[in-house]
Structures are given as structure tokens and as C-alpha cells.
Amino acid sequence: MSHLSRYECEHLLPSHKAGHYPERSRWNGHREEHPMWKKFELETIPTQVGNLSIQKVRISGYLDSSTFPQLQEHLDNLLKQDHHYYLLDLENLDYISSAGLGVLMGILREVREKEGDLKIINMSEKISRVFDLLGFSRLMKVYPSEQEALDAFLNPAPTGPEVAPEDRF
């Protein structure tokens, strides 16, 4: 059995000193790499398909309890402008919490009440597993490409059970 040098003990092993977390954490002590410092960004790109005005919303970074209000406010503002068709691009979404899932369910419910729809593209395998585990994939269709999702807006097929307004988390 080899012994660790003093340098290895002080600099390579996790410690409970300020700026360091126990070994079970994947954070390496650098502020910019800690999940709470990861960026959350939204970008909306209006798209016209046939006679439908579709709002493509790119969601990037971490969607959690500290960032979900931004998404909620953004989508609420779009709804107030009478936009009822949404294409959510989750290609750069690294993490989604129950708060983020709640926002998505809420917007899905609202747009379907107004005879609109929401479709998802570019979902990572990690996020897809969360959706499958919680049954969200039965409520929201995920498309492999943007073009397939846009075509589905023009030729809607049954997407699963409707989300009733009384359904709550």
C-alpha cells in the first residue's frame, strides 16, 4: 500500500475546508463549474408554419427551483400575447427539476385549453429518462427533428390524454 504525499493530501483529496466539498460531490471547487453557477438561458424564435404562428423556445442550462420563475414569466408573457403554439428545443438543457417540470405541465395545460399545442425537440437521453419515469412522455410528444415537429403542428395526430385543469402535482 502506498502512502499519499502531503501535497496529494492537501490538494487532491476532497476536504471540508472552505471551497471544497466531500468526495461524493462532483464539484471540483471551482466556482464557475458549480451547478448553481451554470447559466440558464431562454431564446424565443417566432416561426410561421402555414397559418400557425409557432414560438420556438430554446431552453439552455439548469432549469431548477432558482430558474423556473424565469421560464414561467417568459411563457406567461408569450401567452398574454395570444401565442398558443410552442416548440421547445431542449438540446442544451442540462438539468430539469420538479419545479421545471411543473412549469412545462402548466403551459401544456394552458395552451391545450386554448386549443393550442406544445411539442418538444432535441431532448437529451438523461432528460428523456426523467420524462419517461414520471409519465410525461405520454402527455408531451418528443420529436427527433424540428421539421417533424413543425409538420406535426400542421397535421396533428392524437398525442395522448388531455391534461385536465384539475390535474395538479
Has residue 19 been placed in a domain?
Answer: no
Q: For residue range 27-59, list pLDDT tens digits in order.
A: 455 444 555 556 899 999 999 999 999 999 999
> For residue 136, what is the domain's CATH number?
3.30.750.24
> pLDDT digits over 12-28, tens only?
444 444 444 444 445 45
In a domain, 16, yes or no: no
Q: Collapse the DSSP code of 85 into the 3-class scheme (helix H, G, I; strand E, B; otherwise coil) and give the result.
A: strand
**Hey, how many other C-beta atoms are within 10 angstroms of the C-beta on 143?**
17
Which residue range(s) make up the domain with 89?
A: 38-154
Domain count, the chain: 1
Residue 69 lies in a domain: yes
Decide if pLDDT at 103 tops 90.
yes
The percent of residues above 70 in pLDDT, for the chain, comes to 70
Identity of the amino acid at 61: G
Please say if the pLDDT value at position 123 is more than 70.
Answer: yes
Residue 168 in this model has a pLDDT that exceeds 90: no
* Domain assignment of residue 163, yes or no: no
pLDDT for residue 38:
63
Average pLDDT, the chain: 80
- On whether the pTM is more than 0.75, the answer is no
> Would 132 be classed as within a structural domain?
yes
3 within some domain = no
Q: Which residue has the higher pLDDT, 141 or 168?
A: 141
Judge whether 65 lies within some domain: yes
Q: Is residue 94 part of a domain?
A: yes
pLDDT digits (tens, 9 = 90+) for 141-153: 899 999 999 999 9
Note the helical H segments in the chain. 6-7, 68-80, 98-113, 125-134, 146-154
pLDDT band at 155 (very low <50, low <70, confident <90, very high): confident
